[in-house]
Amino acid sequence: MAVNLLDFDAAGLTAYFAGLGEKPFRARQVLRWIHRFGQGDFDAMTDIAKSLREKLKAEAVIVPPAIVSDKFSDDGARKFLFDVGGGNAVESVFIPEDERGTLCVSTQAGCALDCAFCSTGKQGFNRNLMAAEIIGQLWQVNRVLGVGLPGERMISNVVLMGMGEPLANFENSLTALRLMLDDNAYGLSRRRVTVSTSGLVPMMDRLGDECPIALAVSLHAPNDALRDELVPINRKYPLRELMTACLRYLEKAPRDFVTFEYVMLDGVNDSDEHARQLSSLTRKIPCKFNLIPFNPFPGSPFRRSSTPRIRRFADILMNAGIITTTRKTRGEDIDAACGQLAGQVMDKTRRSGRPLIGIHEVRSQ
């Protein structure tokens, strides 16, 4: 069976080439061709010896997930649907802005964390994506956007905030992250690559040790009783442990703050008292809050907090000295807004007895 070279970071590719009897610099050359130039044809790698190209053609492939659809929003956002096989499809969203271009990528087909407000979690989980399927989303979108020369980068930021919990697929996510940061691949700044987690404390520690990048934590509640209901992983890693883990992470992080994501659910977690509890909970943690207006989906019991309520909530946090922003909705007309990413999952957790086409969780985008 052919080896997919998209599954390898620099260390993995070097080891693979050593097995072929090749020197390490050959791995660096091929890494640049694949990721910096977006090249999937070994014959086009003109500074590689023909004998090695022939060997690679016989033993290896460069195969990203196939793009099933590519939709444009009136506001400039662009949504890509990727086929990851076995009846599963995941999505990425490219969000262009004046000073940056952000790509949101998925790390799992489905999600096992079962957050109360998350359609994906309710639908179930099938499998982790391979590293090739994670980095392949970036590889494909780069090619579609016309990137082909060193320094020609429309994607300046990557966020692992699509379908799935990145830290529950740690090894494959880590390989993809290392490629994003590698100067021979995508060369992104650690400050411009973000992992969003629901709070897997041991994996947060591992990420800090092995690949410290920007961190976003899906908080969504200011106390354990409410978070136990909304984000069940809190029952295993309650808020006190999570806040302590955030402080540990900041000792190694490239940014001097943690971003807390907070979906605004009408009458559930959006009261003045909730805001005051949040300011107390996070008072020792350098942080900023990103308030996310909830995007309802069919069958959801939740509603979006009103604009005045969100504004009042933000004011309380800001008056407590916490930088607070409200996420702007992008791509809503193509169901690419936060909480609207539609994928397809064959549910092996049996929460549903059918193939699932649904709306991704609120952390998406």
Q: What is the set of active-site residues?
A: 91, 338
C-beta separation of 249 from 210 below 8 A: no
Structure tokens at 59: 């033993």
In this structure, the number of other CB atoms found within 10 A of the CB of residue 334 comes to 19
Give backbone dihedrals phi and psi of 49, rounded to 5 degrees, phi first.
-55, 140
| Interhelix angle 170-181/131-144, nearest 10 degrees | 40
CA 27 to chain centre: 27
* β-sheet bridge partners, residue 95: 102
CB-side exposure of 298: number of CA atoms within 13 Å? 6
SS3 content of the chain, % helix, strand, coil (to 5): 35, 25, 40
Dist. CA 269–CA 240, nearest whole Å: 18
